[in-house]
Structure 1
Amino acid sequence: MSERAIEHSLGWVSMVWAQARLNLTVMMRMRGLAFTVLLLPLFLAVMNTSAARVTVNGVPAGVFGAVGALAVVFPFSYMTITSGIVVRREERIYKRLRGSALPTSAIFAGDVLHASLIGAVQCAAILAYAMAAVQAPLPRNIPLMLVAFVLGAAVFAALAIGTAGFIPNYEVAQIVALPVLFGSLVGAGMMLPLSALPDWAQRVAEVLPLTPVMTMIRTAYLGRDFGQDAAPEVGFLEAFQVSAAELGIGLLWIGVGLWSTRKYFRWDPRRS
Structure 2
Amino acid sequence: MVLALARAELKLLLRNKTVAVSSLLMPILVGLWSGHTLPDDAPPQAWAITLSIQLLMVLGFTVYFAATAALAARREDRYLKRLRSGEASDVVILAGLLTPVVLLGVLQAVLMLIISMSAGAPAPRPLPNLAALVLGIGLCLAAGVATSGRTSSSEQAQITTLPLFLGLMGGVLVAIVGPMWLLLPGGGVGGLLHHALTGDGDALTSSASLLVWIALFALLAKAWFRWEPR
TM-score (norm 1): 0.75
- Give, in angstroms, the shift of residue 74 of structure 1: 1.2
Q: Does residue 245 in structure 1 map to residue 205 in structure 2?
A: yes
Runs of 4+ in 1 over 4 A off after TM superposition: none
Number of residue-to-residue matches in the alignment = 226
Cα distance, 1:266 vs. partner? 0.6
Question: Within the alignment, does 1:218 sit opposite 2:204 as a pair?
Answer: no
Question: Mapping of 1:19-30 within 5 angstroms?
Answer: 19-30=5-16
Task: Pick closer, same or farther for the CA change 1:117–1:85 going to 2, 3 Å.
Answer: same
Q: How does 1:68-147 map to 2 (within 5 A)?
A: 68=52, 69-76=54-61, 77-132=63-118, 134-140=119-125, 142-147=126-131
User: How far has the Cα of 1:264 moved from its partner?
Assistant: 1.5
Aligned pair 1:189/2:172, yes or no? yes
**Structure 1 residue 122 displacement after superposition:** 0.8
Contact 2:48 2:193 in 1 (8 A): no
Q: Partners in 1 of 2:74 and 2:204 — Cα distance?
A: 37
2 CA distance for matches of 1:176 and 1:131?
A: 34
Q: CA deviation at 1:80?
A: 0.8
Q: 1:148 to 1:194 in 2, by over 3 A?
A: closer
- The 5 Å alignment of 1:28-67 reads 28-49=14-35, 50-52=37-39, 55=42, 58-59=43-44, 61=46, 63-67=47-51
* Structure ID, larger Rg: 1
Determine if contact 2:40/2:120 at 8 Å carries over to the other structure: no
Q: Deviations over 1:13-56 (max 9, x none)?
A: xx11122222212211211221121121222223334233675x
1:94-118 Cα deviation digits (max 9, x unpaired): 1100100111111222233221100
Matched, 1:16 2:2: yes
Task: Check conservation: 2:188, 2:210, Cα contact below 8 A.
Answer: yes
1:196-207 matches, cutoff 5 A:
203=180, 205-207=181-183
1:51 alignment partner AA:
L
Alpha-carbon contact 1:95-1:268 (below 8 Å) kept? yes
Richer in helix (by share) = 2
Deviations 1:235-258 (A, max 9, x none): xxxxxxx21111111111111111
- Kindly provide the amino acid, as one letter, of the partner of residue 209 in structure 1: P
**Cα contact 1:71–1:217 (8 A) shared by 2:** no
Tell me, yes or no, if the aligned pair for 2:167 and 2:186 is still in contact at 8 Å: no
* Aligned-partner Cα distance in 1 for 2:132–2:97: 19
Task: Give the Cα–Cα distance (whole angstroms) in 2 for the partners of residues 255 and 154 of structure 1.
Answer: 10
